């Protein structure tokens, strides 16, 4: 691997959230929380809404409190830097901020930034179970699928520590924490597992351990070759994919587009301009993730594989699948004997997409995409989160459908996809 690639991998955690997103500024949106926190709307009574994209702010003592004997001094820890920003460190390596939480502890919302500089300023539901469950009750949400928030589990950075035992142990501690949150929340919070995918033996061993602990899904990058690991085309991945295929455990690509949207914005843009375009292109870029899996032949080799396109929206899906249908006919004559299905069939058999802010797609495209292939999310507590008017938005976009369709989209599809225990 080239020196430039190695440096980029070392910096991957530090750059996971743009430093500009933690500078002073932004605008506080005053939230009339009392009128928007009444719980589940009566029209949805009997539905346990599953929010399929949320984030846990990793607590500052997560790794040091759980470190095995003799490893505490090598574990990630949080330090408040001279600029007043809380950041993760491993030794003296800056591993970036604690991630995104724009919900202030008084329930108001910060606009134009990625998070408050310090943990104390933000809503405790980002990193504590009890206030998280209270916020869910207020929003009318029964359960949440949870993803990482900081870059402290970034594979590229962990691979460059020069200490594989430490890197693997960090992943194991993180997954133990996830299992504890799931249990301590009363099976209402379901964090997704991370894997030391740069080490084939440890990848398979940790995947098995996570399944046995009852974790409900895995998160991986769409293009692991960016950090020097073979692509999903390679048999490096076959035992793992066979394992999750047999177990019915979903694979999540959480805004892990196969393109880098940061290369698509105009030079000279300010932070807020760049972020607006990049956030949009990350979502649409998942059309590449969708296409990669469809043309790979992997979906024929693993007929029960479940893939979630998370925090990516749903409105782009019909165009992407229709385009792939055309390309299958015009561009893939050599794969006629390998690819057994057409893109719409692959999509309906293997994929889930999610929506939160959208209005057009859930109102007009739900049946085109498929009522069995769409899930709901809020992205709590991130900058683009649907907060706090969750129930009003649901009534607006799904109000024209009958109760059975609402129940599928808001509950049943997620329960089936993630094998949830209710």
Domain count for the chain, please give it.
1
Please check whether residue 319 lies inside any domain of the structure.
yes
Length of the chain: 422
Tens digit of each residue's pLDDT (9 = 90 or more) over 186-220? 999 999 999 999 999 999 999 999 999 999 999 99
Please check whether residue 228 lies inside any domain of the structure.
yes
End-to-end CA distance of the chain: 47
Please check whether residue 44 lies inside any domain of the structure.
yes
Is the pLDDT assigned to residue 258 strictly greater than 90?
no
User: Residues of 161-177 as b/e, b for ≥16 C-beta within 10 angstroms?
Assistant: beeeebbbbbbbbbbbb
Tens digit of each residue's pLDDT (9 = 90 or more) over 381-400? 999 999 989 999 999 999 99
Please check whether residue 30 lies inside any domain of the structure.
no
Please check whether residue 84 lies inside any domain of the structure.
no
Distance (Å) of CA 18 to CA 22, 152, 190, 306, 327: 8, 14, 27, 31, 36
- What is the reported pLDDT for 160? 94
Q: What is the pTM of this model?
A: 0.96
Tens digit of each residue's pLDDT (9 = 90 or more) over 124-142? 999 999 999 999 999 999 9
Q: Are 47 and 140 in contact (CB under 8 A)?
A: no
- What is the reported pLDDT for 282? 87
Is the pLDDT assigned to residue 3 strictly greater than 70?
no
Please check whether residue 26 lies inside any domain of the structure.
no
Residue 282, domain extent: 39-58+128-418
Mean pLDDT estimate for the chain:
94
Please check whether residue 65 lies inside any domain of the structure.
no
Is the pLDDT assigned to residue 363 strictly greater than 60?
yes
CATH code, domain carrying 379: 3.20.20.140
Is the pLDDT assigned to residue 5 strictly greater than 80?
no
Please check whether residue 139 lies inside any domain of the structure.
yes
């Amino acid at each position: 691997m080239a020196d430039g690639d190695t440096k980029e991998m070392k910096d991957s955690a530090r750059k996971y959230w743009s430093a500009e997103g933690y500078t002073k500024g932004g605008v506080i949106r005053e939230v009339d929380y009392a009128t928007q926190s009444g719980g589940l709307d009566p029209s949805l009574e009997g539905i346990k809404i599953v929010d399929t994209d949320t984030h846990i702010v990793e607590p500052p003592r997560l790794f040091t409190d759980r470190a095995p004997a003799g490893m505490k001094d090598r574990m990630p820890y949080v330090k408040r830097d001279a600029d007043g920003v809380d950041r993760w460190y491993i030794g003296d390596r800056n591993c970036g901020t604690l991630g995104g939480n724009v919900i202030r502890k008084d329930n108001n919302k910060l606009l134009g930034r990625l998070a408050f500089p310090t943990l104390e300023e933000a809503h405790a539901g980002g990193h504590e179970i009890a206030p998280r469950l209270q916020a869910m009750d207020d929003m009318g949400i029964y359960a949440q699928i949870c993803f990482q928030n900081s870059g402290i589990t970034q594979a590229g950075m962990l691979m460059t520590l020069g200490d594989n035992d430490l890197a693997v142990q960090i992943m194991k501690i993180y997954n133990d924490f996830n299992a504890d949150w799931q249990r301590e929340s009363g099976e209402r919070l379901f964090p997704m597992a991370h894997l030391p995918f740069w080490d084939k033996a440890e990848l398979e061993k940790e995947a098995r351990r996570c399944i046995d602990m009852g974790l409900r899904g895995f998160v991986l990058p769409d293009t692991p070759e960016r950090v020097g690991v073979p692509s999903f085309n390679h048999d490096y991945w076959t035992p793992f994919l066979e394992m999750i295929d047999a177990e019915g455990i979903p694979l999540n690509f959480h805004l892990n587009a196969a393109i880098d949207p940061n290369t698509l914005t105009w030079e000279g843009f300010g932070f807020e301009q760049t972020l607006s375009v990049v956030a949009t292109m990350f979502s649409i870029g998942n059309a590449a993730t969708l296409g990669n899996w469809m043309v790979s032949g992997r979906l024929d080799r693993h007929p029960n594989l479940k893939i979630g396109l998370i925090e990516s929206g749903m409105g782009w899906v019909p165009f992407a699948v229709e385009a792939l249908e055309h390309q299958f006919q015009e561009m893939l004559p050599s794969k006629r004997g390998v690819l057994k299905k057409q893109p719409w069939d692959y999509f309906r058999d293997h994929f889930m997409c999610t929506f939160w802010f959208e209005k057009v797609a859930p109102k007009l495209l739900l049946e085109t995409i498929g009522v069995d292939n769409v899930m709901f999310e809020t992205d709590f507590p991130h900058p683009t989160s649907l907060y706090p008017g969750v129930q009003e938005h649901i009534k607006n976009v799904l109000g024209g459908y009958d109760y059975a369709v609402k129940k599928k989209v808001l509950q049943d599809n997620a329960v089936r996809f993630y094998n949830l225990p209710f």
